[in-house]
Amino acid sequence: MCGRLSQYRGIHDFVEALSMPNAVVDAATDLRLARYNVAPTTRVALLHLDGEVLRVDPVRWGWRPEWTDRQPHPNGRVEKVAHNPYYRPIWPHRAIAPIDNWFEWVDEGGPRKQPYLIRRRDQAPILCASIGQYPADGREEKSNDGFVIITADSAGGMVDIHDRRPVVLTPELAREWLDPATPKERAEQMALHQGEPSEVFEWFKVSLAVGNVRNQGVELIQPVEL
């Protein structure tokens, strides 16, 4: 997963996909996010449970532990997140990054890599398993807050686009993932073995303009014929 995504529908649309009755604590839940070209280190709307309440907070996409000065990682490999010391502080803090699509770049022999958009075939929200450090239990935001999207090996035709993909959960599994009562061992197995298969997704070429993060707009998610 190369690290570019879209979040353009409204928070209520993402919450509705989860089918959770809990109220969302957010001042702008009726507004469309309208973000078509989101890059790491910027804020992404993140869903998580705070007690029994489903919250949405704008959290930086990317995290690193305090003991390192390396660049924050936007993604975490599913093979490592449950046991690697790097992710130990945030593995218990599970969240969902709800997105509309993500982008990958493919070397097709031209002067520039060709961007592809990947989305669900049914165009429903994509519920990405994530972990992070973010406001909860009444605490204020911290400067080192952030989150990572968990990724796994691609399969099927998606391998031709990129060798990694986000771990996408069904709404039922996403609710279980968010539940603090779900044991860590169960969460690990969900991430390892129960992500949505590649057949759920479709992909197509989009404009080279998506390569520049300053470019925004609905035209970036439209297919192009080359």
Domain boundaries in the chain? Answer: 5-221
Is 104 considered catalytic here?
yes
pLDDT of residue 31: 66
**Predicted confidence (pLDDT) at residue 29 exceeds the cutoff of 70:** no
Contact 178, 96 (CB under 8 A): yes
pLDDT of residue 27: 47
Of 2, 128, 176, 188, the catalytic one is 2
Would you tell me how many other CB atoms lie within 10 Å of the CB of residue 176?
17
Of 16, 79, 104, 128, the catalytic one is 104
CATH number, domain 5-221, options 3.10.129.10, 1.10.1500.10, 3.90.1680.10, 3.90.45.10: 3.90.1680.10
End-to-end CA distance of the chain: 23
pTM, to two decimals: 0.93
Output the CA angle 219-225-226, nearest 5 degrees: 115
Which residues 6+ apart lie within 8 Å of 172 measured at CB?
A: none
Average pLDDT over residues 55-83: 93
Give the pLDDT confidence of 162-185 residue by residue, as tens digits.
778 999 999 999 999 999 999 999
> To which H or E segment does residue 45 belong?
strand 43-50
With tokens 């080279």, the residue in question is 208
Average pLDDT over residues 23-51: 82
